[in-house]
Each structure stands twice: as structure tokens, then as C-alpha cells.
Amino acid sequence: MTSIADIEATELDQIKPKGFWRGVWSRFRKRRLAFSGLIIITFIYMLGILAPVIQTHDYRETDLRNTQQGPSAEHWLGTDRAGRDLYTRVVWGIQTTVIITVTSFITGSLLLGVSIGLVAGYFRGWIDAVIMRVGEVISVFPDILLIILLAATLRPRIVEFARNIEDSTGISGLVSSGIVDYFVIGVALLPLSWFGMMRLVRGQVLVMREAEYVEAARAMGTSTPRILFRHILPNVVSPVIVSVSFGIGAIALSEVVLSFFGLGVQPPRPSLGVMIGDVTARGGASVSVLRDHPEQLLSPIIVVWLLIFCWNIVGDALNDVLNPRAR
């Protein structure tokens, strides 16, 4: 026989408030457009991650007997002017975008931007002034022009350095594997990724450093690193997540633009920007391809558009569900 105490305990469990992140996820799932966008992003990224498994051809394989072919059972999206399988090159190009966006945000926004933002906002004084002045000088330059300038300047030197390492150590593949390309793009994208995140975190920390719980922790003799990472950092996670969701689309577009201008990933490594550039670049052959086979642009352009559009939709939804004023 069920007692009154058991019934009351059951009712309390049913009305028990959800955890913060469970509540965020519950509200996010109710936004069908954003949730659908997240599914599309996950699907596209899984295509890139699983590229070695789901490819139908080697992305370097050329077949001059089957150039400029339309979709078929053998080539699902057709072939380019060198007879390379477009489907295989698209999934490998997605993998390139995944690697660049993830590494750029982990090194630039999350590690560099968040760490410097915590330091600048908490210590203030001359440290804050120096960091802000450096960031402001960098932000004066138009983003994409600064990225192109850095990539064009750094690439020859980094490639030469990598080749010297190969010659002196006997290690091969540093240049041909694309590692150098990823490093060049990552360094070139740092100015775009760290300053905005740093300024966001700094603004949050300037407010929270005066909060009562931070003052209490400081009065109890809690160490500065513990205050920063245990008491302040968890409270800036929400705006960081929103900023990351908006910024990933911009990073993906920047990588495509760099590769389009020949400053990003180099052949034979596939890239969505390289695929677009192969069709639209200047020159008689490219003009002919663009005029006679514009469908070769569809696959890479649709993937880039979906990534940027879906990340913006997800970012808008996260901004709403994580904003306490919107609840």
C-alpha cells in the first residue's frame, strides 16, 4: 500500500526543476528550424569525418576518358575537367573545412580569446590596456584582407621551414599531407577569431569580478586561478557558446575564400574553395567550364551555404534560449 509520504515524494520528483543545461536543450529542441539546422550541420560534418570510409574513388585519381561527366552510377555527382570524382572531392573538402574550423576555434577563440579575456577583465590596469590596444590595432584592418595578407606572407616561409625539417630529419609528408596548409590557415585566421571572443569574455568578467560570491572567495584567500576558472569562467560559458556558433560559419567562409585565391589548402588536397576556384577562375579553360558545366559549382556552393546558414540559425536560437530575459 502506497503511503502519503511516498506520494508526496513522487510529486516532488515530478516538479523538481531541471538542470540548467537540460533546460537549455529542452528549449532548443522546441525550435524546429534551429534543431533541423543542427541535424544538417551534424550530417555534413559526419560526411567530412568519414570521408576515407565513404569515398567512392581516390580524390587524386584522374580519368581523362571521363572528363566533365554528369551524375551517374559510377560518379554520383559527376566528374571535373580532370576526370576526378566530384562526390569524393566534396566529402574530402568538407573534412578540410571541419579540421580548419575546429582547430581555429580551439586555438584562437577558446584557448587564446577566453584566456586573455579572463586575464584582461580580472586584473585590469596596464595589462588590460596593453591587450586592448593590441587588439584594436589588429581589428582596424578589414578581416578578410588581413587574413589574405598573412596567408600570402607566411606561406612561403612556413613551407620552406617544413621542407628543411623534412630534409634534415628524413620525415616526409609534412607538405604533401596538408599539415602545413592547415597551419598556415590557422595562423592567418587567428586575428579574426581571438579578439572578438576576448572582448566578449572581458566584458563579462568586468561585471562578475565585483559580484559578492567573487568578493567572498577573494576574502577567504582563494587563489586567483581558482577564482578565474572555478567561479568566473562557468558564468561566461553561455555567451561563449553563442559567439562560437556564430563564428564557426565565418571561419568556414574564410577558409573557402583563402583556398579560392590559392592561399589556403593546396592541390591535390581537396577543398571546397579550390573546387569553386577550378570552375570560376580566370582563363579560357575555366570560362568554358563555367559556361558549359555550371552544375559543378552546385555541390561545393550548396555545402558552404548550408553550413553558414545553419550555424547562423543555431546561433540565433542559442542566443534566445541562453538569454534569461528571453525566457
- List pLDDT tens digits, range 286-299: 556 667 777 788 88
Whole-angstrom distance, CA of residue 122 vs CA of residue 255:
33
pTM score, two decimals? 0.81
CATH T-level topology, domain 48-56+76-326: MetI-like fold (1.10.3720)
Judged by DSSP in three states, 25 sits in helix
Lookup: cell for 25: 536543450
- Residue 96, Cα to own-chain centre: how many angstroms? 11
Q: What is the distance between the terminal CA atoms of the chain, rounded to a whole angstrom?
A: 41
Phi, psi (deg, nearest 5) at residue 108: -85, -65
Is residue 79 classed as helix, strand or coil in its secondary structure? strand
Instruction: Kindly state the cell numbers that stand for 238.
Output: 553561455
Please give the grid coordinates belonging to residue 186.
590557422
Is residue 85 classed as helix, strand or coil in its secondary structure? strand
Instruction: Report d(CA 205, CA 211) in Å as an integer.
Output: 10
pLDDT at residue 248, as a whole number: 83
Q: Give the phi and the psi of residue 3 in degrees, each rounded to 5.
A: -85, 165
Residue 85 β-bridge partners: 79
Q: Which residue has the cell 596567408?
A: 151
Q: What was the pLDDT predicted at 185? A: 80
What is the reported pLDDT for 41?
94
Nearest to 81, CA basis, from 302, 303, 295: 295
Longest dimension (CA), the chain: 87
Which residues of the chain are modeled with pLDDT < 50?
A: 1-2, 5-17, 283-284
Whole-angstrom Cα distance, residue 115 to residue 106?
12
The percent of the chain in helix, strand and coil, each rounded to the nearest 5, is: 75, 0, 25
User: What is the structure's pLDDT at 288?
Assistant: 60
Q: Considering only CA atoms, which of 194, 24, 200 is closest in space to residue 109?
A: 194
As separate numbers, helices (DSSP H) first and strands (DSSP E) second, the chain gives 15, 0
Cis check for the bond before 268: say yes or no (omega within 30 of 0). yes
